[in-house]
Structure 1
Amino acid sequence: MIIERPSSARGRIQAGWLDSRHTFSFGGYYDPAWMGFGALRVINEDRVAAGAGFEPHRHANMEILSYVLSGGLSHKDSAGGGGVIRAGELQWMSAGHGVEHSEYNASDSEPVHFLQIWIQPDRLNARPAYAQLEAADARDGEFVLLASRDGVDGGLPVRQDLRLYALSLTPGASARRVLEAGRLYWLQLAQGRIEVDGRTLEAGDALGFREESAELVLTGSGDSGAQLLFFDLPPAG
């Protein structure tokens, strides 16, 4: 089964300093048809105005990833984690048994644009943890591993049986990915335009794959490069 999630169908929250598009139910946006996809619980596309951000708040038992598309995001948490995440970089915070954190735009003059991602962990009440992955040098059409279960094969050591990849495609460039029927897959287009087996995806669009055994062919199109995240997830319990 292939699930389509167009950008225009997402929830939207605007708060002056924040413009947020929600792929799944979150906060003030609720749709019982879109409560998550397996262990993938949240993908919020956030644009935060200069000098603004999310004040300290608490989470527990959630893997929280922030992937910056432009600008800089400043993070601080009660477990000692902190730093500024720049474009192409990924931050991981495992809330574990409980942690308080804040995120602010690191600039006083430019907005920050990033994806906030929540993954349900495979273990509860672990010790909170934090790490940051710098932007990787990658060839056009190459899947780059950003995160994996406990850091297997590199990437950030998330506490779930997943592999998260980034992929960049210039117009006309292609990449291939084999899907296994026993796994779930989610493709989130962050920027640009791509063609996926006869479907055209624009920035913010997504596809989910359940019980699909096939080879995906992804091709960059449009006038500029495309950037996407690809989630390889365990089957829903």
Structure 2
Amino acid sequence: MLQILKAGNHAQPFRGPFTITRVQPGDIFGHETTDTAFGPLAIIDHAVMKKGLTIKMHEHINDEILSYIRSGVTHHRDSAGFEAPIARGKLMLMNAGAGFWHEEKVKDDEVEMLQIFVRPNETDLAPEIQFHDKPADNQDWYVMVGPEGSEAPLYVRQNVYIVDAHPKAGDELEVPTYVGLTPYLYVMNGEITVQDLTIGKQEAVTDLVHPLPSIVAIEDSTIVLFFVDMNAPMSMDGTISGVKY
């Protein structure tokens, strides 16, 4: 049975030059759960950052964080000594582990991005950072993130895959499957249909029992699709990912 998370459910913990719409994936269950995560998929922060904004150096502990930019450029600096511009098609994954510091600056046009927080399978792992250049406008699915040892270009210390697609209006996409993992599809921008349901910007859909049906793009869209081990062991000690809202 398809379950939908509507856009009107999301809180905005920050508004102004740095606006975050905080998507709590477990809210898709309504009042059936005491945890707002979807297994180890903890938080999707859909952020808009204005020109001139600096998010000062700050620490994350036990968060696995994928930065996924739809538009604009953020200038990244971190405790591992990396400095790099992050833009559409440039992925960054911070495996915070025992502790990782970073700073982000927006020097030019505003940035629209996702910060995706996954709970790792253990506490206080070694901190790491990863980068990957991908096609910016792939109309079909592109595997971005997977567990350690998978063929994905970036890894999380968890049994989770993250893929994306940018279908054009009228495109129909078959939704892939991963054995034993539950799909969770988030519309970052645009509008799609799944069977007779319409899913718009900042909305999500899942099916806990069956694979998701094919999707049809009503308009040009950016969609991010997660496959999650709902029974995975996970650390609850993350700075952001470990909080039960």
TM-score tier (shorter): 0.7 to 0.9
**Counterpart secondary structure, 1:177:** coil
Checking the alignment, whether the CA contact within 8 Å between 2:46 and 2:114 is kept in structure 1 is yes
Normalised by the length of structure 2, the TM-score is: 0.84
1:117 maps to 2:104: no
Checking the alignment, whether the CA contact within 8 Å between 1:69 and 1:113 is kept in structure 2 is yes
**Within 5 A, what are the aligned runs for 1:194-233?**
194-210=192-208, 212-222=209-219, 225-233=220-228
Deviation (angstroms), 1:190: 0.8
Render the CA deviation track for 1:2-36: whole Å, top value 9, x for unaligned.
Answer: 332111221113442111111129xxxxx986621
Letter in 2 for 1:231: F
Match of 1:45 in 2: 46
Which ranges of structure 1 fall in alignment gaps of 5 or more residues?
26-30
Partners in 2 of 1:137 and 1:193 — Cα distance?
A: 19
Deviation (angstroms), 1:139: 5.0
Partners in 2 of 1:172 and 1:15 — Cα distance?
A: 34
Match of 2:8 in 1: 8
Checking the alignment, whether the CA contact within 8 Å between 1:180 and 1:214 is kept in structure 2 is no
Q: Which has the higher contact order (CA 8 A, sep 6+)?
A: 2
Which ranges of structure 2 fall in alignment gaps of 5 or more residues?
26-30, 233-245
Partners in 1 of 2:176 and 2:152 — Cα distance?
A: 20
Letter in 1 for 2:225: F
Superposition misfits of 4+ residues, deviation over 3 angstroms: 31-34, 178-182
Checking the alignment, whether the CA contact within 8 Å between 2:182 and 2:228 is kept in structure 1 is yes
Match of 1:83 in 2: 84
Say if 1:202 and 1:67 are closer, same or farther in 2 by CA, change over 3 A. Answer: same
Partners in 2 of 1:86 and 1:20 — Cα distance?
A: 18
Match of 1:28 in 2: none
Identity %: 23
Letter in 2 for 1:127: A
**Counterpart secondary structure, 1:16:** coil
Partners in 1 of 2:93 and 2:180 — Cα distance?
A: 26
Say if 1:179 and 1:118 are closer, same or farther in 2 by CA, change over 3 A. Answer: same
Mean CA deviation greater in 67-76 or 144-153: 144-153
Which protein has the bigger strand share? 1
Mean CA deviation greater in 174-183 or 77-86: 174-183
Deviation (angstroms), 1:123: 2.5
C-alpha RMSD over aligned residues = 2.2
Match of 2:160 in 1: 162
**Counterpart secondary structure, 1:169:** coil
Checking the alignment, whether the CA contact within 8 Å between 1:38 and 1:184 is kept in structure 2 is no
Partners in 2 of 1:147 and 1:180 — Cα distance?
A: 13
Partners in 2 of 1:201 and 1:215 — Cα distance?
A: 13
Match of 2:128 in 1: 129
